[in-house]
Amino acid sequence: MNQPHPKGTAMADTPSIPTTTDAGIPVDTDFRTRDLFETIARGDYPQWTLKMQIMPFEEAKTYRFNPFDLTKVWPHTDYPLIEVGRMTLDRNPADYHSQIEQLAVEPSNLVPGIGPSPDKMLLGRMFAYPDAHRARIGANYNQLPVNAPIAPVHSYSKDGAMRYHTVSDPVYAPNSKGGPHADTARYGESAGWHTDGDMVRTAYTLRAEDDDWGQAGTLVRDVLDDAARSRLVGNIIGHLRDGVTEPVLQRAFEYWRNVDKDLGDRIEQGVRAEQP
């Protein structure tokens, strides 16, 4: 049976907030955290809807562009959004350190039936996130209440700093002492994908519609409205006016014309209009 590749989103990272304005006036960098806390406290609970796109394995092999390229999105006309759930934040942490700072999330925490895709960034993060938690929190970070699963864990992991769930011998598998083992009869084999050829450390193989500008141009021309395009142009002009040298300006104008010629022309006109 083919393993479909899911692609979904629940929350997006928010942009960073500068600590001062251009005029040097201090900015409240805790605004978003406090706003979230106060919103939950008054019962106006924020919600995020989770939607996924499902691409069958066989289609992923030959899709017109690399479906695992982080700079690309899957067109909704090819793979419509499927709503799968909603997350509601309905309470604030009682202790920020133990419930927030010691929280350890990682993409390698997968429920049965969901496996990793060949996305190179995802595969790297499946190793890097747990490594970061072990360095930041400790080897047994998954035993902390904020990180521990609801169901009991049966494994052969033992020792390490601050471990308090004891494990008795033997600590190897398989064994004849009745130790825990994978219940494939109940849950099936681990989800994954069949590899075509060798898995090597190399760049992706380019496909027919792999490029750096196509989807960016579609975003500017077909997704943004006139007001959003004007804001985009204004933001770019503002940055390019801030002491950027002429050789860099030329490259910047060319860059944005590669995305969309009209966009690049408007940006150059706006920058030149303010030059002496």
> What confidence category does residue 152 fall into, taking pLDDT thresholds of 50, 70 and 90?
confident
Whether 227 is covered by a domain: the verdict is: yes
Examine the domain organization and report whether 86 and 159 are in the same domain. Answer: no
Examine the domain organization and report whether 192 and 220 are in the same domain. Answer: no
Task: Give Cα separations from 38 to 31, 47, 89, 91, 140 (angstroms).
Answer: 10, 15, 12, 10, 33
Per-residue model confidence as pLDDT tens digits over 29-65: 888 999 999 999 999 999 999 999 999 888 988 899 9
Examine the domain organization and report whether 115 and 175 are in the same domain. Answer: yes
Examine the domain organization and report whether 47 and 84 are in the same domain. Answer: yes
136 in Cβ contact with 147 (< 8 Å)? no
Q: Convert 44-64 to b/e letters by CB count within 10 Å (16 or more is b).
A: eeeeeeeebbebeeeebeebe
Of 66, 92, 118, at which residue does a domain stop?
92
Of 34, 59, 92, at which residue does a domain stop?
92
Boundaries of domain holding 127: 95-197
pTM for the whole thing?
0.72
Cis peptide before 180 (omega within 30 of 0): no
Examine the domain organization and report whether 10 and 23 are in the same domain. Answer: yes
Per-residue model confidence as pLDDT tens digits over 225-275: 999 999 999 999 999 998 899 999 999 999 999 999 999 999 999 999 977
CATH code at 252? 1.20.1370.60
Of 58, 76, 92, at which residue does a domain stop?
92
Examine the domain organization and report whether 172 and 135 are in the same domain. Answer: yes
Question: What is the DSSP track for 69-134?
Answer: -TT----TTTS--EEEEEEE-----S-HIIIIIT----TT---TT----S-HHHHHHHHHHHHHHH
75: tokens are: 């067109």
Per-residue model confidence as pLDDT tens digits over 192-234: 666 666 666 777 778 888 899 999 999 999 999 999 999 999 9
Number of domains in the chain: 3
| Distance, CA of 135 to CA of 57 (rounded, Å) | 36
Whether 208 is covered by a domain: the verdict is: no
pLDDT computed for residue 13 by the predictor:
41
